[in-house]
Structure 1
C-alpha cells in the first residue's frame, strides 16, 4: 500500500511540474514598451544600464576612448527610447549646441512630408508649381521636369559642381531630372516650397510642426548662410534634440502614439528613392544595399554603405561626422556630434566602419 501511495504521489508531482513547465513555455514573450521622454522641457529621460541589457560592460571604455580620440563632442545611445550611454567630451556638455550640417537634411525631408500629410503640397508636383518659373537658369522645359521628389532624391539634374549657392544663376542644367544622381545643395529649395505652400516662414512651420511636437530644444536655430556660405541652411541644437529626432525616426514618424509624419511617406524616405544610388532615400542614407554613390562623385561602389553596421540601418550623415544612426532591428538610435574624426569629410569615412565595430562589441 505504501508503494502504491508513493508511486501515486510521485506521478502527481511529475504531472504538476510538467504542467507548470508547459505553461511557462507557452507564456507570451513580453516586449518592452517603447519609451518617449516628456516634451515639457524637463531634463527627465529614463535610462537603461548596460547590465540590464545584458551587454558587454568591458566594451564600453574602448568605445569611449575611441570617440574622445576622434574629436567627438557628444555621443548618445538609445535602446527602446531609453538612454544607455550619454557622454560628452572635449569641453562639450549637454547644454551646448553643435551644428547638424548635412545630417539636418533629414529634418527638411521630414517637414516636407509633414506638409504633404497636411495636404499643402505634393512631392510629385514640379517645384515651379510652388516657386514659380525661373527659380533655376535652365530652360523652362527642363526646369519643369524637376519635381520636389527629385530634390528629396538628389536627382534634379542640376550642376553639383557650382557650390552651395542656390540662386537661379547658380542652378544650371547638366541632365534631365531623374537621369543623374548628384549630391547637391539644391534640396534646400524645399524649405522655400514648404514656406510658400504653408503661408508661413520655414522657421515657424518647422518649430510648430516638428520641433515642439517632440520636445526638441526651443532655442535650437537655423543658420542661413551669407557671402561665400550663401545657400546653406544648417540646424544647431543640443545633442538630446538630435536624439529626439532619431527616436521619432525609429518609430517611423510617430511620437508616443501621435502621428507626426505619415508612415507611408517615412517608409518611402528610408528606402531607395531612385534607380542610380541604391543607398539613398529622401535625404536619408541607407545601409544594406548592393551599391552606393558618395557625394561629389558619379562612381558606383559595390557593397554596403557601412559594412560593419546592421544592414537595416538608415542614417543622417553630415560634414565633419555628424551622425544619426537608426537601427530598427535593435530598436536603437546612435548619435554622434563633433569635429571631423580625421581629415575633413563630407559624409562617410573609415571612422564609421571602426565606430560600428566598437558599438557592435557592446552587444555581440
Structure 2
C-alpha cells in the first residue's frame, strides 16, 4: 500500500502539554478546567484549513493503519475526519487528490433539502403546499385528485405515493400513482422536482440560486452535472463536501451566519413521518427503532448502522458516497469512492464495517 497522508500539527501537541501543565497550581491543586475548544470554520476562497493530531484527541493511533488499509481495499478515493471543524485525518487513494472532483450521487439529496429550506425561509414557497401550485397540474400522470395530494413536504420525506419501480425517469409519463401521498415511503428520484419548484418560485435557475444561497456562502466549489433522465448530480472535491458536513454539524450556521433556519434544519434531521423512522428530509437517521431500505417495503427493527453513534445523521449516496455527522462527538466523516463491495443505492454493509474500524481508532 502506498504511503498515505495523515495531517498533524506539532503545535497542537505543544498546546495540549502546556494546557495540562498550566492546570496545576503550585500547591498541587488544580485550577478551573480549560475552556472547551471553539468550533473552527475555514475561510472562503482558500484551501487553508486548521488541523489537529489524533494524539491530542487521545485516539488509538496504532489502529489508524488498519483503517487506511481497509479503506483502500474497499475502493475508496478519499476519506476525511473533522473534529470541531478541524481536519484530523485526510487521506487520498488510488490516484485521487485533494483537487480532484467526485460525484455525490444521492448524498446530494441533502443539498436539495437544504436549499428547499432556504427558499422557504425567503418566502418563495411553503413546503406544505402542493407541488402543482408551483409546477402546474400534469407534472405526473396520476389522476388530478391524487396529484394534488402531493406536497413539497412529501417530496422531502419520500412519501409522494408515486411508483418507485419505474426507474429514474421523472417525466410525467413515468410518474404514476400507486398510493395516496403520505401513506407509503419509497426511495424515489421524484425528489428532484423540488429543484424545479425552486427554479419556478425564484425565477432563477437551480444552479444559480444554489450557488448564491448555499455553495458560495460556505466556500464550496463544484457544480451540478447532467447524468441522464433529466437528473443532475453534484460533483466537488472532498473538502467541499466536508464544508457542507460542517454546516450540518452546526445546525445550518456558518461562522456567524445562519444559512438555513435552525428550526427547519432540526426537522430535516429528525424522523419526518411514521413509516420510515430513519428518514428525515432526505437525510438518513441512525439510532431509531426501525428503518426501511431503498427499493424495499420491508420494515427492519433496530438502528441503520448499529456500530455508529445513535445521534448520527447521514447523507448517503449510490456506491458509498458518505457524509456522517455525529453531534455528540462534534465530528464529520467523509468518504468518496467507488462501491466498497457490490453496487448499492445508498446503504450497504460497508457502513457498519467502516464504523467498527473508525471506533477502533477514536474510542
TM-score calculated relative to the size of structure 1: 0.91
In structure 2, the residue matched to 1:305 is 304
Structure possessing the higher radius of gyration over alpha carbons: 1
Find the counterpart in structure 2 of residue 9 from structure 1: none
1: distance between equivalents of 2:27 and 2:154? 61
Contact 1:315–1:325, Cα closer than 8 Å, also in 2: yes
Counterpart mapping for 1:1-364 below 5 A: 21=29, 24=31, 27=32, 29-39=34-44, 41-217=45-221, 220-225=222-227, 229-364=228-363
How many Å separate the matches in 2 of 1:348 and 1:182?
14
CA distance in structure 1 between the partners assigned to 2:128 and 2:271 by the alignment: 16
Is the contact made by 1:185 and 1:231 (CA closer than 8 Å) also made in structure 2?
no
Shift of 1:224: 2.0
Structure 1, residues 245-286: CA drift from partner, whole Å, max 9, x if none?
000000010000100000000000000000100000000000
Alignment partner of 1:75: what SS? strand
Quote the offset at 1:347 in angstroms: 1.2
Partners of 2:268 and 2:34 in 1: CA distance: 32
Q: Give the Cα separation in 1 of the matches to 2:291 and 2:260.
A: 27
Number of matched residues?
Answer: 339
Aligned residue for 1:212, secondary structure, equals: helix
1:76–1:83 contact (8 Å) kept in structure 2: yes
Q: Partners in 2 of 1:166 and 1:363 — Cα distance?
A: 42
CA displacement at 1:54 relative to structure 2: 1.2
Shift of 1:60: 0.7
Unaligned runs of 5+ in 2: 1-24
The runs of 4+ residues in structure 1 deviating greater than 4 Å are 17-20
* TM-score for the superposition, normalised by structure 2: 0.92
Shift of 1:288: 0.3
Q: Secondary structure at the match of 1:340?
A: coil
Whether the aligned pair in 2 keeps the contact of 1:103 and 1:322 (CA below 8 Å) is yes
Rounded to whole Å, the distance in 2 between the matches of 1:153 and 1:257 is 29
SS at match of 2:164: coil
The answer on whether the counterparts of 1:36 and 1:81 sit within 8 Å (CA) in structure 2 is yes
**Aligned-residue CA RMSD (Å):** 1.3
Q: 2-side partners of 1:18 and 1:162: how far apart?
A: 74
Deviations along 1:82-134, whole A, 9 cap, x unmatched? 00000000110011110000000000000000111111111111001100111
